Structure 1
Amino acid sequence: MLDLNADVRLYRLPVIVAVLMVCSFAVATAEFVLVGLLPQIAADVGVPVGVAGQLVTVYMLVGAVGGPVAAVVTRRVPRRGLLAATMALAVVSALWCAVAGSYGALMAARAGSALAQALFMAVASQVLMAAVPERRRTAAVARLFGGFALATVAGLPLGALVGAAYGWRVTFVAVAALAGAGLVGVWVAVPRLPVGDPGGLASSVRAVLGGPMLAGLAVTLLALTGFVAVFTYVVPVLRAVAGFGPGWVGAALAGYGVGTVAGNLIAGRVAPARIGRWLPAAVAALAVVLLVQDVVLRSPLALAGPVLMGGAAFVVVPLVQTWLMGRAGPAAAGLAAAVNVSVAGAAGALGAALGGVVLSVGWGPLWLAPVAAVPAGCAVVAALLVAASDRARRDAVVGAGG
C-alpha cells in the first residue's frame, strides 16, 4: 500500500489537492471541449459532422477500456512519476490535436487524451486516498471530481468561445497549456510517492469484482446513465420546458455549476465509514430531482432545477469512488478507481443514447427527465445493497470482537 505520512508532512495537503484538481480540470476540459467545436473541426478536416462525432465515441471507448488496462500495466510504477507521465501525455495529445492535418491524426490524438484522462483520475484518486487522513478522504476525492464539474460549466463554454474567436486549434493549444500547468504542479507540489505493494493481479481483480463492489459499480452505471440522459440535452430542455432564451440558459448553466460545487462540498462532509449509510439517500435524491425536474422547470423556481440536478449528481460521484477504493483495499484501490471511471464513461454513452432515443421517437424534451429517473431509481436498489454489505461487515467485526 502507499504510505505517504512521512513525505506529506513536508507539504501542505491543500496544495496537493489543488494541483490535482487543476489537472482533473485540464483532462476533463480536453474531453468536453470537443462538443462545442465539432462543426468547425468537421469542416476543417473535410468530414461530415456525424463522422466527426465519432471522435467522441472513440474517446469514450478508449477511456473505458484503456483506463483499467493501463492501471494494471502501471501498477508497479512510482505514483508521482506516473501522474507526471499522464499529464505529459495530455499535453502532447492536446498539441497533436492542434496540429492534426487529417481526421485519422485527430482520432489518434483524441485516443491519447482519453487514455491520459482515465489513468490520471485513477492514480490521482489513489494518491489522495493515501495522502490524507481517513476522515478527509471523501472530501479530497470530491475536490478531484470538482475539476470535472468545473470543466462542464467553464472549460466547455470558454473553449467554444476561444474556438469561435480564434479557431478550434487555438482552443487545443490552450488546453495543452492548462495541462502543462498541471504537469508542473505535479513535479513541484506532489512528493515522491512509494509504489507500495500492489499485490497480485488475480487478487486485485477478485477484490474489484466481488459482490459488494459490483453493487457499487452498478450505482455509478445506473445513476450516471440517468443524469447524463438529461444533462446531454440540457439546453433544449431549458428552452422547450422552461421557455428560457439564451441569457437565461446561460444563467441556468451557471446555476448548475454552483450546484456541482455545493454537491462536492456536501459529499466531502461524509466520513468514509458512513458512506454506506448515506449513499442510498444521496442516490434517491438524484432520482427524485430527475423525476420532478420538469415540474420545477415550469414553476417560478425554474432556475433551481439545474442547481438541484448538478448538486445531486456530484454528491453521488465522489461518495461511490471513495467507497469503492476503500472497500477494495490499498492493493486494489487504483484498479477499483480505474474501473469505476471506466463504468462512468460507459454510463455517459448509455445516458446520451437513452436521451437520444427519447427524442428520436418523438416524445420530446418533456419526457427526458422522467425517463432518466428510471435508471436512477434502479441505482437506489444497488445503493441499498451497498449499505447492506457495510452493515454485514460491521456486524461481522463486532461478532468477531465479541
Structure 2
Amino acid sequence: MIALVLMLCAFAVGTSEFIVVGVLPEVSADLGVSLPSAGLLVTAYAVSVAVGGPVLTVLTGRLPRRPLLIGVMALAFVAAAVCALAPDYTVLMAARMLAALAQGLFFAVASQIAVAAVAPEKRTAAIAKIVNGVALSTVLGIPVGTLIGQNYGWRASFALVAVLTLIGLAGVALGAPKVAHEPDPGVRASLFAFGRKTVLLGLATTVLSFTGMITAFTYVAPALVEVSGFSPSWVTGVLLVYGLGTVVGSTIAGRVRTDAIMRVLPVTLGLLMLVLLATGFLLETRLTAVVALFGLGATAFVSGPLLHTFLMGQAGSAAGLVASVNISAFNVAAALGPMIGGAVIAGGFGVRWTAAAGALPTLLGVGVALVIGRLVRRGGAPVEERAEPAPVRA
C-alpha cells in the first residue's frame, strides 16, 4: 500500500517539475515577461532541487520520517496552489523554487520510508515504484497538464498539480507507516559516505547513463515528426509506449536481488547504450520507432532503480543524503543531455542522431559500473547487508 502511495506522490512532484514547459508561451504572455525569462522557471527549479535537496536532507536528518514526509507533501501542495494563484512573475518564481525544495527533500525521505517498510529483498522493488511515478509523470501527467493549460489557461495546469499533491498528502497521512531509521550521524559523518569510492562512482554512473538517455528523450518529439513521419497529434500517443517501457523496466528492476545489482547493472546499461546507438536507424519507420521508444524507457528504468537502491545500501546511515544527491546527479544529467543533443543538431547532423550521441556517455557509464562491480566483489557485502546499529523509531 505504501509503495503505491509513494508512487502517487512521486507522480505529483514529477509533474510539478516540468508542467510549466508545456505552457511557457501562455505564462510569458499572461505575466508580461519574455519567453527566455519564463524559461528560467525551469532552470531555477532544477538548480533548487540539485542544491536545496541535499541541504534540507542534512538539516532535517533528526526528524521522524513519517511526519517529515507529511510536511513535505503539504509544502508541495502550498507551492502548487501559490503557483496557480501567483499575481506576477516574482511570486511564481518564488513558489516554483519552494516546490523544488519540496521535491528535493521528498525523494530522500520517500526512499528511506520505502526501503524501511519492506523486507531487504524487496527494497529494489520499493524504489522502483517511486521511480515509476516520476516516469509516468513525464508521459502522462505533463501531456495532460499541458492540454489542460492550453484549453483552460496555465493556472489550471498548476491547479492540477495542487490536486495531485493534495491526494498524495492524504495518502501519506492515512497510509504511511511509522518506520525505523538510523540515528542521524551529523553533517560531518554524513559527508564521510561520499569518501567511499562506490558512492562517488555510483553518482558518476547516474550522471553518465542518464545524460545519454536524456540526450535522446529531449529531442524525441521532433524526431518522431521529422524522421518517422508521425503527425504532431500522434506524438503524445507514441510517447505512451515509452511510458509502458518504463513500467516494464521498473517492474523488472524490482525483481533483482540487492546482492545481484552490480552484476545486472552493467548489462542493463549496455542494453541502453545499444538502444541509443540503434535509435537513429529505428526512427526510419513508424513501427521500429515505437520499438525504439519502448526499449529506451525499459532499459533506462531498469537501471535507475538499481542504481538508487545500490547507492542507498552503500551509504549506511547517510542513505537519505546520498539518495538526495543522486537526484541532484540526475538533474545534472537533465542539464547536460539537451546541451549535447543541441550541439549535434547545430553541427548539422539533425535530430535523428541525437540518441547516438547519447550512447557515448552511457558507454562511459557502463565502464564505471564495471569498476564498481569489481570494487564490491573485493570489498565484500554491501553496507546494507552488514550488521547495522539499532534503528530509531520514527
TM range (shorter): over 0.9
2:231 matched to 1:245? yes
Matched to 1:172, the amino acid is: F
Q: Please show how residues 57-68 of structure 1 align to structure 2 within 5 Å.
A: 57-68=43-54
2:88 matched to 1:102? yes
2:75 matched to 1:89? yes
Q: Deviations over 1:336-385 (max 9, x none)?
A: 10110111111101112221222233321022011111111110011111
Greater shift in the superposed pair: 363-372 or 148-157: 363-372
Which residue number corresponds to residue 286 of structure 1?
272
Contact 1:163–1:170, Cα closer than 8 Å, also in 2: yes
Instruction: Please give the alpha-carbon distance, in whole angstroms, between the structure 2 residues aligned to 1:357 and 1:97.
Output: 33
2:153 matched to 1:155? no
2:308 matched to 1:321? yes
Tell me by how many angstroms 1:92 deviates: 0.6
Tell me by how many angstroms 1:208 deviates: 2.9
Instruction: Please give the alpha-carbon distance, in whole angstroms, between the structure 1 residues aligned to 2:85 and 2:382.
Output: 58
Structure 1 residue corresponding to 2:112, chosen from 123, 126, 129: 126
Contact 2:46–2:100, Cα closer than 8 Å, also in 1: yes
Tell me by how many angstroms 1:395 deviates: 8.3
User: Per the alignment, in what secondary structure is the counterpart of residue 292 of structure 1?
Assistant: helix
Greater shift in the superposed pair: 336-345 or 294-303: 294-303
Matched to 1:307, the amino acid is: F
Call closer, same or farther: CA 1:209–1:168 in 2, change over 3 Å. Answer: farther
Which residue number corresponds to residue 332 of structure 2?
346
Tell me by how many angstroms 1:194 deviates: 4.7
Call closer, same or farther: CA 1:43–1:396 in 2, change over 3 Å. Answer: closer
Alpha-carbon RMSD across the aligned residues, in angstroms, is 1.5
Q: Please show how residues 2-401 of structure 1 align to structure 2 within 5 Å.
A: 15-299=1-285, 300-329=287-316, 331-394=317-380
Q: Deviations over 1:299-341 (max 9, x none)?
A: 4422101111011111111000000001111x11101101101
Contact 2:10–2:130, Cα closer than 8 Å, also in 1: yes
Contact 2:272–2:299, Cα closer than 8 Å, also in 1: yes
Which residue number corresponds to residue 7 of structure 1?
none
Matched to 1:191, the amino acid is: P
Q: Which runs of 5+ in 1 are unaligned?
A: 1-14, 398-402
Q: Deviations over 1:43-67 (max 9, x none)?
A: 1111111111011110000000001
Matched to 2:38, the amino acid is: A
Greater shift in the superposed pair: 185-194 or 254-263: 185-194
Q: TM-score normalized by structure 2? A: 0.94
Instruction: Please give the alpha-carbon distance, in whole angstroms, between the structure 1 residues aligned to 2:72 and 2:247.
Output: 25
Contact 1:71–1:119, Cα closer than 8 Å, also in 2: yes
Instruction: Please give the alpha-carbon distance, in whole angstroms, between the structure 1 residues aligned to 2:307 and 2:226.
Output: 33
Tell me by how many angstroms 1:196 deviates: 3.6
Greater shift in the superposed pair: 315-324 or 167-176: 167-176
Matched to 2:312, the amino acid is: M
How many aligned residue pairs are there?
A: 382
Matched to 1:30, the amino acid is: S
Contact 1:93–1:113, Cα closer than 8 Å, also in 2: yes
Q: Deviations over 1:108-153 (max 9, x none)?
A: 1110111111110111001111111011100110011110011011
Instruction: Please give the alpha-carbon distance, in whole angstroms, between the structure 1 residues aligned to 2:382 and 2:61.
Output: 31
Which residue number corresponds to residue 388 of structure 2?
none
Instruction: Please give the alpha-carbon distance, in whole angstroms, between the structure 1 residues aligned to 2:382 and 2:147.
Output: 56
User: Per the alignment, in what secondary structure is the counterpart of residue 288 of structure 2?
Assistant: coil
Call closer, same or farther: CA 1:132–1:395 in 2, change over 3 Å. Answer: closer
Instruction: Please give the alpha-carbon distance, in whole angstroms, between the structure 2 residues aligned to 1:20 and 1:188.
Output: 12
Contact 2:73–2:168, Cα closer than 8 Å, also in 1: yes
Q: Which runs of 5+ in 2 are unaligned?
A: 384-394
Matched to 1:310, the amino acid is: G
